[in-house]
Amino acid sequence: MIIDFFKAVGTTLVLTANIWGALLVLFWNNKISMPNRYNLYYHVIKYKKFTNIHGFLLFSLILLLVFQLIYVLTHLRESVVNTLTTFVGLFILLISSYLMPWAKIQAVFPKLTSSLQFPYRLTVGAWPLLLLEIGISMTNLMKKNIKLVNMLVIIGLVSAFAQNFAANYTTNRTRALEFLDPHHVVIIQTYSKITKHRKKLQHILRYTNNDQLFEAINHTEPDYMPYTKHASNATYQKRISNQAKHYHYQVQGSKLILTWHSKKAKMKTLPIVMYHQSRLTLNGEVQTKMKQNTITQPIIKARKGKNAASLQFMTPIWFKVLLVISILGWIALIVYGIFVKQRKISLR
């Protein structure tokens, strides 16, 4: 058992090397700004009649969950996988709900208010398991060819689909009509800035498939940006987002190219941020010594006329090695799985 444990740990480390390696690259030599804080207690799984967004459960889904729980409790020996994954999914759902003392938890671990923010996010690991096992359980019931049971299963599935579809459609349509109504005040929250031209945004969403949407809706929170001293969202908005319109941006390979014209030679703060691993090239010269402000914007000396700055993130060699290891690990796992499957088939 101990050997199997270390095998599992080693396999997990290999397969996720690109993830924990990236976290090391980002957090080891940088001060990183975390997302805004939210009260965990108010962002949990809960029941609501006509809404299924952001952690709300409709009555039809609750019925499906009750059905699945009753089924596995009455068929414990039928399938270990069905039983185990159902309990795992329900456990995740439980700790994501209001039944968990999130108010006390965030009092003890306040950093969770910015790192986790919304406990209902945990259900991303629960719903695939639960919906899969609900499907398996209903399939097993229908294999018994009992007309009443088959009819109840179909009615249950159709009802759940219809209620969720109706809830999604109603929510999206209501919000769309509110935005398109010129007499309705659109609430713009702190984390995004939406263009005030309603028809323009509607056209972008319906008829385009390019970067116009990202120009019309700007993210205004400096999540995971580097800093030297704490600064507000307004600082990021004023110094970066609002200044970006004075520059021309272009991406070439792994480089971000900024070009602009200056009427005279002067000191200038560029609307970009510098991580520890960032390399800035100004007018063909690599900048090794430069001043930075509190949100790590480089302060450079622009020359008269056209200027060009190139920003590139220099990925460490050791992370590239970890990335290769992770890819090879996944390939090896897939090959091993196919080999084991073929071996079992040949032994039958």
The sheet that has 266-269: what strands, in order across it?
266-269, 298-302, 291-292
* Cα–Cα distance list, 160 to 36, 50, 61, 153, 257 (Å): 35, 12, 6, 11, 50
Nearest residue to 314 (alpha-carbon basis) of 4, 7, 25: 25
Q: Is the pLDDT of residue 43 over 60?
A: yes
pLDDT digits (tens, 9 = 90+) for 53-69: 888 888 988 999 999 99
Which DSSP string corresponds to 197-223?
-HHHHHHHHHH--STHHHHHEEE-S-T
The whole-number pLDDT of residue 224 equals 80
CA-wise closest residue to 237 among 215, 218, 220: 220
Q: Look-up: residue for tokens 């659109």?
A: 186
- How is the chain split into domains, by residue range? 1-30+319-348, 34-173, 246-313
Within 10 Å of residue 207's Cβ, how many Cβ atoms? 8
Q: Give residue 184's pLDDT band: very low, low, confident or very high (50, 70, 90).
A: low
Structure tokens at 316: 């460490």
Structure-derived torsion over alpha carbons of residues 158, 164, 165, 167, reported in degrees to the nearest 10: 140
Question: Which of 284 and 209 is assigned the larger pLDDT?
Answer: 284
> pLDDT tens digits, residue range 164-175?
899 888 888 887
What's the distance, Cα to Cα, between the start and end of the chain in Å? 28
Reply yes or no on whether the pLDDT at 217 is more than 80: no
Under 8 Å CB-to-CB from 328, ≥6 apart: which residues?
none
pLDDT at 21 over 80: yes
CA 264 to centroid of chain Cα atoms: 43
C-alpha dihedral (118, 119, 124, 128), degrees to nearest 10: -150
Choose between 196 and 203: higher pLDDT: 203
Percent pLDDT > 90 in the chain is 36
Q: What pLDDT score does 342 carry?
A: 87
Q: What is the pLDDT of residues 85-107, one digit of tens each?
A: 999 999 999 999 989 999 999 99
Yes or no: domain 246-313 corresponds to CATH 3.30.420 = no
**Which of 239-242's residues contact partners 24+ apart within 8 Å by CB, and which partners?**
239/269, 239/271, 239/293, 239/295, 239/297, 240/271, 240/272, 240/273, 240/295, 240/297, 241/193, 241/271
Please count the residues of the chain.
348
Provide the mean pLDDT of the chain.
86
Residue 203 has pLDDT above 80, yes or no: no
| pLDDT digit string, tens, across residues 115-159 | 888 999 998 889 999 999 999 999 998 888 888 888 998 998 899
